[in-house]
Amino acid sequence: MPNSIAKPFLKWAGGKTQLIDEIENQLPENLSEIPFTYIEPFVGSGAVFFWMIEKFPNIEKVVINDINSDLTNCYLTIKDDLDDLLTTLSMYQLEYHSVFKDKELAKEYFYDKRLLFNTRKSTRTIQSALFIFLNKTCFNGLYRVNGKNQFNVPIGRSHSLPNICNEDNLRVVSEVLQKTVILNGDYSETLKHASECTLFYFDPPYKPLSETSSFNSYAKDVFDDAQQIRLKEFCRTLNSLGHQWILSNSDMKNVNPDDNFFDDLYEEFNVLRVNARRSINSKGNKRGNLTELLITNLF
């Protein structure tokens, strides 16, 4: 598919499309002139990953990782079993569109698929198709699980037919993934794949601005303050090894100007505040312009 650019195939809370310009501003000026390894330990929907692949054809090795096995299995399915995935997604799209205008039938279809997904007894390809279907039809494309690792997001409120099977984009994504190492595990394991010249981009679960704004139920294990501190120590290790890195996170000063959690935690590095818009919130009046943090050892 000539001239096609791979784009995220999922809607994702905290997707980084809006921050790409700011991230680009922090990159070394000569990055396009040298071969390097790119590692993204919290890939999510991959907005920065797909942009990096397009922007820097000189990338020699690409590694993506996520703790969410439902997500990484989806990447692996698109890489290894695309045709069967497209067949199943096309069927789901046809069936869902046929009942979409009948809200009760649409709800029944959605919750049947959610129940099937949560049994986790289907093949990897079927689970991946269910994963994409739920993402396209649930509330705000949010991914959230309970303590039993069961997806529990309700049906969405869309007034237009969702594009469940975007075949053109999925085929381009599959081409990109052929040259990508896909890992599922703790982010620290990605260090094994670093080379002499390596750039890491971290997009961990954000520290919540309030108790009600947390989307940290992204996996059954919570990414709390202790985990934020552990991640900082990992970044310090990377710095000592000569690797370059950029990390994004929430800016706690949006709710408390005296909250210096990240400023103190990363005081030895470069902490930048950039404008961002958060679009995933249950209340429309809570969506708006905020600052987020870009933290880096690049100066």
**Do residues 295 and 271 touch, judged by C-beta distance below 8 A?**
yes
CA–CA gap between residue 242 and residue 137 (Å, rounded):
43
- How far is CA 201 from its chain centroid? 12
Binding annotation: 12, 16, 66, 203
Domain ranges for the chain: 19-67+185-296, 71-167
Q: What is the pLDDT of residue 12?
A: 83
Q: What is the pLDDT of residue 277?
A: 66
Residue 283's CB is within 10 A of a number of other CB atoms, namely 7
**Do residues 243 and 38 touch, judged by C-beta distance below 8 A?**
no
CA distances in angstroms from 147 to 7, 38, 112, 113, 265, listed in the order given: 31, 33, 21, 20, 29
**Do residues 114 and 135 touch, judged by C-beta distance below 8 A?**
no
pLDDT of 140 higher than 60: yes
Q: Among residues 11, 47, 14, 8, which one has the least CA distance to residue 207?
A: 14
Q: What is the pLDDT of residue 15?
A: 67
Average pLDDT over residues 178-188: 97
Looking at CATH, the fold of the domain delimited by 19-67+185-296 is given as Rossmann fold (3.40.50)
Give bridge partners of residue 63 from the DSSP assignment: 39, 181
Q: What is the pLDDT of residue 218?
A: 57
* pLDDT class of 209 with cuts at 50, 70, 90: confident
At 218-259, the pLDDT tens digits run 555 678 999 999 999 999 999 999 999 999 999 999 999 999
**Do residues 202 and 248 touch, judged by C-beta distance below 8 A?**
yes
The CATH code belonging to domain 71-167 is 1.10.1020.10
pTM score of the predicted model: 0.92
Q: What is the pLDDT of residue 45?
A: 94
pLDDT of 134 higher than 60: yes
Q: Among residues 51, 50, 44, 52, which one has the least CA distance to residue 13?
A: 44
- Between 221 and 203, the more confident residue is 203
Alpha helices in 158-254 (DSSP H): 167-177, 225-240
Binding annotation for S-adenosyl-L-methionine: 12, 16, 66, 203
Question: Three-class SS of residue 264?
Answer: helix
